[in-house]
Structure 1
């Protein structure tokens, strides 16, 4: 049974709780890095930014040139920084976003879109 694919399917169907269960199993039984990435996205959606950062740290430790992990962690750090009113998290966010673009210049459009969405909230 491929727990990662089951998690993806449940997430697409909007069943976040079940998706988390499958991603947890995919991580514990398969060590699936994709499950860490998708679980971190769910954690961000739930406002569990520190959990998202922990998952992304794991991905970065294993694949230190993964631009998606740096981009996701940058988003999580920014949102955590806003929530806790902590400039250190905002600074880390900018560093991660810059690293993501350096590793994959095509991500720059996603970074710009994220920054634009933040500006629109102000």
Structure 2
């Protein structure tokens, strides 16, 4: 079981593609928010009603480690991180080889910023079960955030070699290929991520950027539009849509897209820069 299937945005710095690929127009790569995992937090699973129901299960089965693990996952999804940690601690105390609980607890540690404890838990989960794909993906995200790109790539690769059906492995490996300029490989990975998680906007946005880098503007535009359709609050996708309009010379539509991105993320510099360009050009 995964706890918290979500981090928003894209922490990989894709602005390094700017000059060479877009003739001075900045690729919109959101760098200010944590990322790497697809989808959005399932608030329903973290609701007070669901947690209350799970607490009843715990009360009836106080020695069942899985009951604590499941409730801990729901608490994590609801943003109740300290309570989630307590449940994962109990699950591990009851079952010391509970590798899923170690991996879930690691993700909570990541979210509260304790990267050392997160790494220790991922390592322990992998030590117990060397074939547990979720732990490799989680640790890979931890490495990627720490700019340990090769270590991150190796973990995503390992998860894929284990025949994971988790879209995050392909999405995150695609991000690494993208920053290395290997856009055809990135597109393949983003496409696989889309097939595994068709309701996630991030791989559409990622694939669109690689299409854009290959000057396949129509494909890029279609992907940015789909990213917006799936998540209308994706400021990066709005900015990238604006960039396509700008490249086409439609400054009015570009300004509208950039303005929406800036409304959603007022400190997002690529949106502000784009709006400034098309406004000054008018």
TM-based fold match above 0.5: yes
Matched, 1:100 2:193: yes
TM-score (structure 2 length as normaliser): 0.36
Following superposition, the deviation at residue 66 of structure 1 comes to: 3.3
Q: Which residue of 2 aligns with 1:25?
A: 124
Q: Is the helix fraction higher in 1 or 2?
A: 1
The answer on whether the counterparts of 1:49 and 1:76 sit within 8 Å (CA) in structure 2 is: yes
State the number of aligned residues. Answer: 114
Q: 1: distance between equivalents of 2:157 and 2:188? A: 14
Following superposition, the deviation at residue 101 of structure 1 comes to: 1.6
The answer on whether the counterparts of 2:173 and 2:186 sit within 8 Å (CA) in structure 1 is: yes
**Structure 2 unpaired stretches of 5+:** 1-91, 93-100, 210-235, 241-269, 274-282
Structure whose alpha-carbon radius of gyration is higher:
2
Aligned equivalent of 1:63, options 142, 149, 163: 163
Provide the secondary structure at the position in 1 that maps to 2:150: helix
**Structure 1 unpaired stretches of 5+:** 82-86
Provide the secondary structure at the position in 2 that maps to 1:105: coil
Q: 1: distance between equivalents of 2:127 and 2:118? A: 14
Counterparts in 2 of 1:22 and 1:65: CA distance versus 1, 3 Å:
closer
Q: 1: distance between equivalents of 2:103 and 2:137? A: 11
The answer on whether the counterparts of 1:53 and 1:77 sit within 8 Å (CA) in structure 2 is: no
TM-score (structure 1 length as normaliser): 0.76
Q: Which residue of 1 aligns with 2:11?
A: none
Following superposition, the deviation at residue 77 of structure 1 comes to: 1.9
